[in-house]
A and B are shown apart, each in its own frame.
Chain A
Amino acid sequence: MQLATLLSQKKAAILGRWLTMIYESYPPETAIFLRKEKNRFDNPAGYRISEGLEGLYGALLQEMERDQVLTCLDEIIRIRALQNFTPSQALAFIFLLKIVIREELAEEIQKENLAAEILDLESRIDGLALLGFDVYTKRREKIYEIKADEAKRRVSGLMRKTGLSEDSL
């Protein structure tokens, strides 16, 4: 059996475990909430993270445009880029998928001799992580950008009055 077929068959188990591991990077009380609350508006972080993970998993199973992959990464990273994580902690979730797959498919990997395919998949997960760096950096830059924009808006009325544009600030 091919790895891609196995990944499709075990999608629910692998995704569920991956999601649980991300939730466990939060304090225990928060992890319980993120897992339990299913309403997408009452639990926005849980919803957006799970949506993003599903998209990323899809990107590994089939071909996907680069922009779409970046969007899926951004779903999760723009939350974690704000929260109380170091950059490495914010992005570690991508690599966790390797652990989940190795453990969930341990038996099949040995039986079906999938080592080569696994190595290829893990390289693509590394690729995801590298794209994750791009997204993370963009999000951090965005924070500085919105700080500057807000400072400009605070006096933008005055700027218009004096005939100056915001760009001259």
Chain B
Amino acid sequence: MAKTPTPAELLPGLSYKPPEKGWMDVKPDFRPGTYCNPASPKWMEWINYPYPAARSIPEDEWALPQDWKEIVLQGMEDRLNRFRSLKLFFDICVRCGACADKCHFFLGTGDPKNMPVLRAELLRSVYRRYFKTIGRALGEIAGARNLTEDVIKEWFFYLYQCTICRRCSLFCPYGIDMAEMTLLGRELLASVGLNIDWAMASVAQCYDKGSHIGAPPQAFKDMIDFLAEENERVTGITTTPSYNRKGAEVLFVMPSGDYFADPGTFTMMGYMLLFEHIGLDYTLSTYAAEGGNFGWFISHEMGKRLNAKIYAEAKRLGVKWILGGECGHMWRVCNQYMSTWWGPVDFLEKPVSPITGTRFENAAVHKMVHISEFTADLIHHGKLNLDPQRNAHIKLTFHDSCNTARGMGILEEPRYIINNVLPEGNFVEMPPNTIREKAFCCGSSSGINANENMELRMQGGFPRANAVRFVHDKYGVNHLGCICALDRATLPTLLEYWVPEVGVTGISELVGNALIFPDEMERTTDLRDRDLVGFGELAEEAGEEEE
């Protein structure tokens, strides 16, 4: 029997000082809400991934293959030989701590193992033990440790608490890329059968049926036809997407979030209105129906397998170049991996805007242009007839998606578009240490936007939401704009918890709202059927009052 605890005694940090434990001895606490479920064997069998089994995280036994240790160590050795960067990142860190407090998961969870320096150490300690003489000889003294099942569990816990956003590498004096270590660490986990269900289900569905959501080509076409009808209902403009049309100039590829889930669907409507407005000769593909790539969140190999469809379809249809929709990780994969995987891309032409004649030199190798680059160029050349007042009900701040902003420097294009489609004064930036290269991540990217780990996601997104709340409280911001489908899927949930007064929108949706067509019907609502400010009945009433 013991006395009822006092409040202070309930808090371990206050009631007693625990014996000093090294980080190696602190085991992760697999509390429900903080981890993703392991992948169902069904999905792994669909894509022929190794060691499928029904696993349960709370169980001690994780059904690892008998020779799991050899597989992991061999895998590490292979990757050290293949990726000089990995070896460099393992060797070069001096533990200066510059990255320690830059991770949104550390800031949200308060767990020191989410300090990037320590998260990397989870892998680095094994590297030292098996691949460095000093680690072999001195063990723990040299920061080395044996590879045990507990270590594997710790990797599973923390490598899926990293959204590969690379904010930490921005602050690292050596530019050590935690994202690359996380990705390669996840590959090692996958090699012994450990994957997460949310990502693996999306991958298997995409590989088998064409999109993460598992929709067959007919459903893809049905849904986009429906969104075209919606455009006609709201604007009176017939948007006419074509499917699998050979000889089109441009293949347009977008993430499936844009045609199935709100608010992405309104972004899709915006794309179609834009293309109609400029008369773009484009086609959609029911085969390359998914721009997103959850495969890349599991392994480079799986990323490549899913990505294959885009060039294959561009080649089959005989298009000149590819235009990509608003998506962050899709863009990273297409911009930075695709041509390395499949190049040289000699069956496509260097992208040239058929409307402005602009040559997209930045896309000369991979032959794919981002919709924000394309739209900003159109506006710059005065090719869009826009009425910013149609977005007067939107007071916007902009979330720089990690992959497009920090990863590839698409910083000015979306802002340029925003400033041209919103009335002056309706765009407000969040504080400088939370945007552009220093943007805080949404906290749900890299395949961890599952349902069962919601507490973790809300903690990871807290720094982002905190900055959104600031501009909401101070300037009355009511929308958060972004150019990423995962953001559009997850930020509404994040904001519902932290700043419920703020909604989420894609930037092409705002373009769609603002476009003026010569033969349009009278516009009284935006694409979401919300009343416009100063249009329609309200404007008429105001006019009558003045009279």
Chain B window 69-110, contacts with chain A (Cβ cutoff 8 Å), 1 for yes, 0 for no: 000000000000000000000000000000011000011111
CB neighbours (8 Å) of B466 from chain A are: 40-41, 44, 47-48
Q: Is the CB of A44 within 8 A of B462?
A: yes
Task: Convert B260-283 into 0s and 1s, putting 1 for each residue whose CB lies closer than 8 angstroms to a CB of A.
Answer: 111011000000000000000000
Least Cβ–Cβ distance between A31 and chain B, in angstroms: 7
Judged by a CB distance under 8 angstroms, whether B544 is at the interface is no
Contact A147 B454 (CB under 8 A): yes
A41-B434, A45-B110, A83-B459 known; A92+B10 contact, CB < 8 A: yes
State the Cβ distance, B488 to closest chain A Cβ, in Å: 10
B111 contact from A30, A89, A149, A157, Cβ within 8 A: A30
A33 to chain B, nearest CB (A): 5
**A95 touching B455, Cβ below 8 Å:** no
Decide if A108 is an interface residue (CB 8 Å cutoff): no
- The residue that A92 contacts in the complex, of B7, B33, B222, with Cβ under 8 A, is B7
Tell me if B52 is interfacial: C-beta within 8 Å of chain A: no
Judge whether B34 is part of the interface by a CB distance below 8 angstroms: yes
Which residues 17-75 of A sit at the B interface, judged by CB distance below 8 A? 21, 24-31, 33-34, 37, 39-45, 47-48
The complex places the Cα of A95 from the Cα of B13 at a distance, in Å, of: 15
Cβ of A78 under 8 Å from chain B: yes
**Do B493 and A150 touch across chains, with their CB atoms under 8 A apart?**
yes
A27 and B112 form a contact (CB under 8 A) = yes
Residues of A contacting B13 in the complex (Cβ-Cβ under 8 angstroms): 24-28, 31
Judge whether A156 and B261 touch: CB under 8 Å.
yes
- Does B107 contact A154, Cβ atoms closer than 8 Å? no
Tell me if B223 and A41 are in contact (CB < 8 A). no
The answer on a CB contact under 8 Å between A157 and B433 is no
Assess whether A115 is interfacial by the CB under 8 Å rule.
no
How near does chain B come to A32, taking the closest CB pair, in angstroms? Answer: 10
B8 at the interface (CB under 8 A from A): yes
Residues of B within 8 Å of A42, CB to CB, are 101, 107, 433
Using A29-B115, A37-B101, A88-B10 as known contacts, say yes or no to A45 and B492 having CB atoms under 8 A apart: no
The answer to whether A146 and B101 have CB atoms under 8 Å apart is no
Q: By the criterion CB–CB under 8 Å, are B431 and A96 in contact?
A: no
- The answer to whether A161 has its CB under 8 Å from any CB of chain B is yes
Chain A proximity mask over B396-434: 1 for CB below 8 Å, otherwise 0: 000000000000000000000000000000000001011
Residue from the list A25, A143, A149, A161 in contact with B458, Cβ < 8 A: A143
Asked if B492 and A153 make an inter-chain contact with CB atoms under 8 angstroms apart, the answer reads yes
**B261 contact from A31, A47, A84, A153, Cβ within 8 A:** A153
Chain B residues whose C-beta falls within 8 Å of the C-beta of A39 in the assembled complex: 433
Determine the residue in chain B with the shortest Cβ distance to A24. Answer: B13
Whether B110 and A41, one on each chain, are in contact in the complex, defined by CB atoms closer than 8 angstroms, is no
CB neighbours (8 Å) of B490 from chain A are 150
Given contacts A41-B466, A92-B10, A149-B493, contact A82 B458 (CB under 8 A): yes
Instruction: Decide yes or no whether A10 CB sits under 8 A from chain B.
Output: no
B2 within 8 A of A: no
Task: Flag if B7 contacts A82 (CB, 8 Å).
Answer: no
B1: CB under 8 A from chain A? Answer: no
A13 nearest CB across to chain B (Å): 18
The chain B residue with its CB closest to the CB of A151 is: B451
Size bracket of the B interface: 35 or more
Is B60 positioned at the interface, with any CB of A under 8 Å from its CB?
no
- Size class of A's contact patch? 35 or more
Using Cβ atoms and an 8 Å threshold, which residues of chain B touch A151?
451
Instruction: Tell me which residues across on chain B come within 8 A of A124, comparing CB atoms.
Output: none
Q: How far is the CA of A26 from the CA of B33 in the complex (A)?
A: 19
Q: Is A6 an interface position by the 8 A CB rule?
A: no
B473-505 at interface with A (beta carbon < 8 Å): 489-490, 492-493, 496-498
Q: B347 interface residue, CB < 8 Å from A?
A: no
Beyond A44-B463, A150-B492, whether A30 also contacts B458 by CB under 8 A is no
Cα-based distance from A28 to B21 in the complex (angstroms): 11
Which residues in B have their C-beta under 8 angstroms from that of A96? 7-8, 14
| Residue A79, interface by CB 8 Å | yes
A153 in contact with B29 (CB, 8 Å): no
Q: Name the residue of chain B whose CB is nearest to the CB of A94.
A: B7
CA distance A28 to B498 in the complex (A): 27
Interface check B252, CB cutoff 8 A: no
Are A146 and B454 closer than 8 Å at their CB atoms? yes
* One of A27, A41, A145, A160 near B470 (C-beta < 8 A): A41
Q: Of A21, A26, A29, A33, which is in contact with the most chain B CB atoms at under 10 Å from its CB?
A: A29
Chain A residues, CB < 8 A from B342:
none
Q: Pick the contact of B451 from A45, A99, A150, A157 — CB < 8 Å? A: A150
B431 partner, pick from A41, A154, A158, beta carbons under 8 A: A41
B109 touches A83 (CB 8 A): yes
User: In the complex, what's the smallest C-beta–C-beta distance from A48 to chain B, in angstroms?
Assistant: 7
Min CB distance B472 to A, Å, is 14
Name the residue of chain B whose CB is nearest to the CB of A166. B262
How many Å lie between the Cα of A34 and that of B6 in the bound state?
24
Chain A CB within 8 A of B226 CB:
yes
Task: Kindly state the separation between the CA atoms of A44 and B468 in the bound complex, as whole angstroms.
Answer: 12
Check A106 for interface membership: any CB of B closer than 8 A.
Answer: no
User: Which of these, A47, A149, A157, contacts B265 with CB under 8 Å?
Assistant: A157
Known: A96-B7, A143-B458. A25 touches B14 (CB 8 A): yes
Measured between alpha carbons, how far is A45 from B260 in the docked complex, in Å? 35
B11 interface residue, CB < 8 Å from A?
A: yes
A146 and B433 contact, CB distance less than 8 A: no
Q: Is A155 an interface residue when CB atoms closer than 8 A count as contact?
A: yes
Q: For the complex, is B31 an interface residue (Cβ under 8 Å from A)?
A: yes
Contact A45 B14 (CB under 8 A): no
CB-CB < 8 A to B213: which residues of A? Answer: 154
Separation in Å of the B20 CB from the closest CB of chain A? 9
Closest 6 CB pairs of A and B: A95-B7, A44-B466, A92-B7, A29-B112, A157-B265, A24-B13
13 A–B contacts, CB within 8 A, in A order: A24-B11, A30-B111, A39-B433, A40-B466, A44-B108, A45-B108, A82-B455, A82-B462, A146-B454, A149-B492, A153-B261, A156-B262, A158-B223
* Contacts A78-B498, A92-B11, A142-B496 supplied; 18 other A-B pairs, CB < 8 Å: A21-B8, A26-B110, A30-B112, A33-B101, A41-B466, A43-B107, A44-B462, A44-B466, A45-B107, A45-B462, A83-B459, A96-B7, A142-B497, A149-B493, A154-B213, A155-B261, A157-B265, A161-B223
Chain B residues at the A interface, C-beta cutoff of 8 Å: 6-8, 10-14, 29, 31, 33-34, 100-101, 106-112, 115, 213, 222-223, 226-227, 259-262, 264-265, 431, 433-434, 451, 454-455, 458-459, 462-463, 466-467, 470, 489-490, 492-493, 496-498
